Amino acid sequence: ILRGIVGANPAKIALAVAALSPVFPYVTTGDGFYPDGSFVQHTSIPYIGGYGAVLNDGLGRLFALLRGSTWEITDPGSRQFLDTIDAAIAPFIYDGLMMDNVSGRGITRVGSSDHTRAHGVMASIVLLGMGAGPEENARWRAMVKGWLKRDYYAPALKSGSLSLVNTARLQTLLDDTSVTASPEPSAHRVFHNMDRATHRRRGWGAGLSMASERIAHYEFGNGENKRGWHTGSGWLQWWGDGAGLEQYSDAYWPTVDPYRLPGTTVSRKKLTDGQGGAWANPKPGTKWVGGTGDGEFGTTGQHLQGLASTMHARKSWFWLDDCVVCLGSGITSADGAGVETVVDNRCLGTSGTPRLLLDGKAQPTTQGWTTTRTTTWAHLDRHAGYVFPGGTELHALREERTGAWKDINDDGTTAPNTRRYVTLWQDHGTDPADSGYAYILMPGASSARTAARAADTGWLQILANDARHTGIRVPSLGFTGVNFWEAGTAGKVTASAPVCVQIHEKRDGTATICVSDPSRTVTGLTLTWQRHVKSVLSKAETVTGVRTGSSVTVTFGDLSSSRGATHTVRVRVR
């Protein structure tokens, strides 16, 4: 295009514009954008925060350059590309940072962070908005302004990470008094084509990273991300309202224990730097990975196989209004090494000593302190509350950890970084057989609210938590979620095939039934819910029959070709 402009050669410009058309369509395999908002690069790496951001920026410049000219991009497929702002990019930006779980090996580059990766993307969104419709442009500008205003840790306009042009573009937006900043939305999203999920509620947000036979455990290449082994093992990132935006930015990656990433279940078997080899993108052999949701709440599951390990586990997450219910079952290993589930691992900076309560009792703040005790709830000031239904033997540790960027990236610096951590975990022992866990993560909760949740033993009903089914019911929310690892019954729900099911009863007398086929193997399904249903309000095209009455039975046709997507049925229960 530039050669055509400089050389006054319209044919070259036209040729280049025509060559953009193959970029716009969604893909169903391999690299590119998927209809569900997933973006994959290097065949099996979720990469919206890396290559996806580069694509977004490059196309944004071309859209702007050609706007109003004879060669303005009018390909109908360009509409799909503009749709990726809401579908693929915005869900992974939280208060001005880009979640690490879609940035591949880039998370280990010194001088960059989840915040700096978001800065250029925000400027690109503003640029693209100029070529979108007026409603989209207004919405995107309000969204970006909200991110700019809420990022107290590494504000885009003070970080020095932006070009002069992008700085001016964002400063102009920030100064525009006609634009009112949008808050973070409350929403749950499942990205079934890249084994990721995001959850936003008032005051907090979270991102989940999994791996399957389709998506790699981690990416290692060019000497980068040498110890990212367990970033696909159910790694659960979260951020609270007005706190925690520095959590994964402040020298987190060179100092964190790579075997103890929050939310993961891992074998302590020693792995080599770059385990699997450069660009090998090692994937487990498991199929049942994915989830479903109604946009408000979500149900997610992962049949986890450890990297270079015999360890298997079935992990489940139930995403609610003020918490995530985390269950694990079938944890089995024969590595000759211990297996742990990491409840959380919070970076406290260089000098943080927030109070840690275990069942209401304050614990020592000295570094190197550790304890193991049966606990029903824990609370870390200014971070979160943790509830353990029925109690669990909880391990807790305060420690200072030192590491250099060079340890995890060949191009990194050798200067040591020291950060403090509080780690909470459950030890399943060496070579466990059918072990499990259950805990409730409450981001930003006070100690009083955490204690109250622990005392309310009827709030959560665990319907099943074994190698066949994992499910819960929360009566006060009208919520039921079940991961059927195989056909069977959990509570009042029966499924004839291995599927993910969520039922959400609303106060208006309706209920939403969501079903997905994470394993992509189900060619027919009969689902029964033992609940009186008056009528069907709407149903997915895959539904072949519905029988209502004292219970409801829904039959589905082939789900395997939907690649793990959600199929929804809305019914009236009263």
Other beta carbons within 10 angstroms of residue 21's beta carbon come to: 13
Residue with tokens 């400063």: 171
For the cut 80, the answer to whether the pLDDT of residue 243 exceeds it is no
Kindly write down the DSSP assignment for every residue of 70-85, as one continuous string. Answer: TT----TTHHHHHHHI
DSSP state of 181: P
Are 234 and 265 spatial neighbours (Cβ–Cβ below 8 Å)? yes
Give the E-state strand segments of 306-450 in sequence order.
312-319, 324-332, 338-347, 356-358, 361-362, 370-380, 384-403, 417-430, 435-443
Q: Report the share of the chain in percent with pLDDT over 70.
A: 100
To the nearest 10°, report the CA torsion of 97, 103, 105, 111: -30
pLDDT for 512: 98
Reported confidence tier of residue 249, pLDDT bands at 50, 70, 90: very high
Are 345 and 498 spatial neighbours (Cβ–Cβ below 8 Å)? no
pLDDT in tens, 54-92: 999 999 889 989 988 999 999 999 989 999 999 999 999
Cα–Cα separations (whole angstroms), residue 101 to 67, 236, 476: 34, 9, 32
CB neighbours of 316 closer than 8 A, spacing ≥ 6? Answer: 299, 300, 301, 302, 326, 327, 328, 329, 465, 470, 481, 483
CA distance 45 to 40: 5
CA distance 178 to 187: 26
Average pLDDT value for residue range 500-529: 98
Average pLDDT value for residue range 485-514: 98
pLDDT in tens, 327-342: 999 999 999 999 999 9
CA distance 125 to 128: 5
pLDDT in tens, 184-225: 999 999 999 999 999 999 999 999 999 999 999 999 999 999
Q: Is-catalytic flag, 386?
A: no
The mean predicted confidence, pLDDT, of the chain is 96
Reported confidence tier of residue 133, pLDDT bands at 50, 70, 90: confident
Helices (DSSP H) in 96-213: which residue ranges?
114-129, 134-150, 164-175
Cα–Cα separations (whole angstroms), residue 492 to 213, 399, 471, 553: 32, 45, 11, 12
CA distance 17 to 66: 9
CA distance 327 to 441: 11
CA distance 420 to 405: 17
For the cut 70, the answer to whether the pLDDT of residue 242 exceeds it is no
Residue 442, strand partner residues: 385
Q: Which of 26, 34, 47, 51 is catalytic?
A: 51
Average pLDDT value for residue range 239-265: 93
Domains annotated for the chain, with CATH where assigned, are: 2-175 (1.50.10.100), 187-455 (2.70.98.10), 486-572 (2.60.220.10)
CA distance 327 to 82: 37
φ, ψ for residue 60 (rounded to 5)?
Answer: -60, -40
CA distance 545 to 529: 14
Reported confidence tier of residue 159, pLDDT bands at 50, 70, 90: confident
Average pLDDT value for residue range 28-42: 96
pLDDT in tens, 268-325: 999 999 999 999 999 999 999 999 999 999 999 999 999 999 999 999 999 999 999 9
pLDDT for 378: 98
Q: Look up residue 517 and give its two tokens.
A: 């086929």
3-state secondary structure of 457: coil
CA distance 326 to 263: 8
For the cut 90, the answer to whether the pLDDT of residue 49 exceeds it is yes
For the cut 80, the answer to whether the pLDDT of residue 241 exceeds it is no
3-state secondary structure of 135: helix
Q: Look up residue 497 and give its two tokens.
A: 């095939």
